[in-house]
Structures are given as C-alpha cells and as structure tokens.
Amino acid sequence: MPSGARIGRYRWRICAMLLAATTISYIDRQVLGVLAPFLQAKMGWSELDYSYIVTAFQAAYAIGLLGAGAVIDRLGTRIGYALSIGVWSLAAMSHALATGLVSFAVARFALGLGESGNFPAAIKAVAEWFPQRERALATGIFNSGSNIGAIAAPILVPVIAARWGWQAAFLFTGALSATWVTTWLLTYRTPDAQAKLSSSERTYIGREPAQPRTRVPWLRLLRHRQAWAFIAAKFITDPIWWFFLFWLPKFLHAEYGLTLMELGLPLIAIFLSADVGSIVGGWLAGYLIRRGFSAHRARKGAMLACALLVVPVVFAAKAGNLWLAVTLISLATAGHQGWSANVFTLASDMFPRHAVASVVGIGGFAGAVGGMLISTVTGLLLQFTGSYTPVFLMAGSAYLIALLVVHLLAPRLQPAQLDSVPATTRVDTTGGER
C-alpha cells in the first residue's frame, strides 16, 4: 500500500474540521451541565425541573434528527452542515437571555434542533472523504471532539462565569460556532471538486465503486434489518452518554460536595479518558482488519471490548471515594466513545453513501428518544429516592445488551441491498455539492 506521504493527507484536514465542529457542539451542550448546580440553586429548579430542561433539548434533537439526515442528503454536506451550525450558534447565544424554567427550555429546544445535524453531516463527510478501512479511525477522531468539548467546558465555563457572569459563557460558545461556519463555507468541497486535492489522494479516496446519488425514503430503509441494528444500538446506549454529559456535574456536587470551581479536574479526567477511548476504539477495528479479521468480526470485536469497559460503572454510585468513582466513570466514558466510533461506522459499512446521513439521522432520533426517557427517569428517581444507583446499573449493562441485539439483527454486517428494491426516487444528477 502506498505511504501516507505519497497518497496525500488533505482528507485529514477535513477530519480536523469535523473534530472542531463536534468539539464546539459539546462545549455548547456542556455549558448547562457545568453550570447546573449553580443555576439550579439560583433559579430554584427542582430535580424534575432540571430534567424537563434537559428533555427539551433531547426532544428537539430527536425531532431534528427525523429530518436532518434527509435535508443534508438533499442539500449536500457543505450547505447542510453550515445551516445546522448556524442555527445552533444563535440558539447557544440565546441562553444568555433566559430568565427561568420556560425560557431555558425554549433555548435548549432551539439548540437541540440545530445540533441535530452535526453527526449526520459529519458521518456523510467521512463517507465522502475516506475509504472504508479508514472510516472508523476518522470517525473516532472527529467523535473525540465530544470529549474535548466536555473537557474544555469545565475549564472555560467556571472562569468565564466567575469573571463576566453565567450569560457570557453561552455567548462565548455561540461565537465559536459562528466562526466555524464561515471557515467551513470557504473551504469545504467534495473530493471531486476540491482543486487542492492531489490526484493520488483522489484516486485513493475514490477507489471503491462509484455509487448512485439517489434519495432513499425512510420506509425503504426501515425494511432492512441493518437499519434496525443501528437504530437499536443508538436507542440502548446513547441515553447513557446523555446521562454522563448532563448529570455527572450534579452527581459529583451531590455526592462529594464539589463547587463550580472544583468540578473541573474530575470532569477533565473523565472526558479525557473518553477522548482516548474514542480514538483507540476506532483504531482497534482498523487494526483487526489489517491483521486479517473480517470486517464484521473486527467491528464486533472492538465493540465487545468497549462494552466490557463500561461494566464496572455499576459500582460508581457506591464508590465512597471521589477518585475511585471518577476512575470507574472514566472507564465507562472511554468504553462508550470507542463503542460510538464503531457504531457510527456501522452505518457507512452497511449502507451506500447516499443513504448514510439518513440512516444516522434515524438512529440519532432513536438515541435522543432514549435520552428523553433516561432524563425523565433520572429526575423522578432523584426527586423521590435521591439515589443514582439504578441509573449506573442501567449504564453498566446497556452495551452488552445492545451488542447482542446488533448481532441478532445483523450477524455478518452484510451491506443492505437498497438497489434490489424497485426504485421510486429521483436520481440527483447535479454531481456534487450545491
């Protein structure tokens, strides 16, 4: 195989932009989580009130994902991604105007609508710019932005809030999003339209057979077990990540009395571990493929390793020591993100490029619905029992259950034969981004 230097590396610049977008997205999401103990006391929210605000984001995220993938497939990655981030930039800054439960919920709802386009667009960009053997690694790299954002937020937010007020934290992250949109529109093109791409790298990216650019209705996608395997994986495991993202600061504050300025170090350790897990989880599947494993054995082997990392988190609620709890949760977040890198790649493994964003959107919808359920359940449990133990028990078992379901629905991760079903959709003859 030609060396990376001879092939060219422009595709990794695209991956870096996807990493930046995902990082900004998770900074935007995590601002509320970091400020939650402070805002809950200031605004007088109950545990259920906070769960309603979190659920508003997830409800909008779910609704947005119903259409985000289809919109991005139709508009193209360049315009579709820019539209998504433009909406969430305005929504992030609108939090600074919120004064209570309803206005915060409205701002979170708008943020969820905008951010629903991030992963469908990023996965589509990876499918456009990377050959199959590199997709899990590229996905793991950009998906690590979720952890970088979660690390950056507890570093930046307390300092900004202490110096300029909590409203400034939301304004700062919204400005980051607006800057990214400008850069993206100026630089992104598909490989066939990118003048800066070398001929050798263009050939390397495009050496897989060309695929027709057809619009695939959801009902047609849902006829395939492969789609349900992806949907089930997202529905069962995404809620655990939502719990980590929105409830960990509250857990650490409630169980160990950490103040706003003290939350930073434990959260950094937890999400730095997740960052490593994202990259290693994506790398592991590619390594196994290079070692001669079949694609489905490599993918599921990597997913199993990640699922086993999460299991010890069942003991986190009763750890009794801050850093023991942090260690157990760190293993779980690393496992989740390694798992997530491989689950996202299932979509591009089993579906043609022109359907990837739609499949990811449907799966993301299922994950967001699961997130709504776990937020409501967590709020109810804390309101009436004050115990995090049942939630950590669910977290520890979810990934093994999800892997079993994926295996039953897609034993060999066979590609879905969409073209074997009589087509009723129009063919996109524009040949590129619009």
What amino acid is encoded at 313 in this protein? Answer: V
Model pLDDT, residue 19: 94
- Measured CA to CA, the distance from residue 80 to residue 283 in angstroms comes to 28
Q: What is each CA distance from 348 to 58, 341, 342, 352, 368, in whole angstroms? A: 24, 12, 10, 7, 20
- Measured CA to CA, the distance from residue 247 to residue 252 in angstroms comes to 9
How would residue 1 be classed by pLDDT, with cut points 50, 70 and 90? very low
Percent helix, strand, coil in the chain, to 5, is: 80, 0, 20
Q: Which domains does the chain carry?
A: 11-187+220-415 (1.20.1250.20)
132, 208 contact by CB (below 8 A):
yes
Euclidean distance between the first and final Cα of the chain, in Å? 34
The model's pLDDT over 90-137, given as tens digits with 9 standing for 90+, comes to 999 999 998 888 999 999 999 999 998 898 889 888 888 888 778 878
Of 64-68, 214-218, 223-227, least confident by mean pLDDT is: 214-218
Model pLDDT, residue 232: 96
The model's pLDDT over 253-263, given as tens digits with 9 standing for 90+, comes to 888 988 888 88
Q: Averaged over 399-423, what is the pLDDT? A: 83
Cα–Cα nearest to 421, from 146, 224, 178, 289: 224
The dihedral through the CA atoms of 194, 178, 371, 56 has a sign that is negative
Quote the pTM value.
0.74
Q: What is each CA distance from 244 to 48, 237, 363, 403, in whole angstroms? A: 17, 11, 19, 20
In DSSP notation, 384-396 reads: HT---HHHHHHHH
Model pLDDT, residue 429: 25
Higher pLDDT, 112 or 140: 112
Query: Please, which residues have CB within 8 angstroms of residue 321's CB and are 6 or more apart in sequence?
Result: none
Pinpoint the alpha helices (H) of 95-224. 101-115, 118-129, 132-143, 145-164, 166-187, 199-205, 218-221
How would residue 285 be classed by pLDDT, with cut points 50, 70 and 90? confident
- Measured CA to CA, the distance from residue 369 to residue 392 in angstroms comes to 19
Helix (H) or strand (E) holding 301: helix 295-310
Q: Is the pLDDT of residue 213 over 60?
A: no
Give the length of the chain: 434
Q: Is the pLDDT of residue 68 over 90?
A: no
Cα–Cα nearest to 345, from 407, 283, 408: 283
How would residue 432 be classed by pLDDT, with cut points 50, 70 and 90? very low
Q: Cα 230 vs. chain centroid, distance in angstroms?
A: 14
- Measured CA to CA, the distance from residue 361 to residue 356 in angstroms comes to 8
In DSSP notation, 194-251 reads: -TTS-HHHHHHHT-SPP---B---HHHHTTSHHHHHHHHHHHHHHHHHHHHHHHHHHH
The model's pLDDT over 345-366, given as tens digits with 9 standing for 90+, comes to 888 888 887 787 778 878 888 9
Tokens coding 287: 């390594």
Angle between helices 10-43 and 118-129 (to 10 degrees): 170
Higher pLDDT, 427 or 40: 40
The model's pLDDT over 149-192, given as tens digits with 9 standing for 90+, comes to 878 888 898 889 888 988 999 998 888 888 899 889 988 888 87
Percentage, residues of the chain above pLDDT 70: 93
Higher pLDDT, 16 or 146: 16
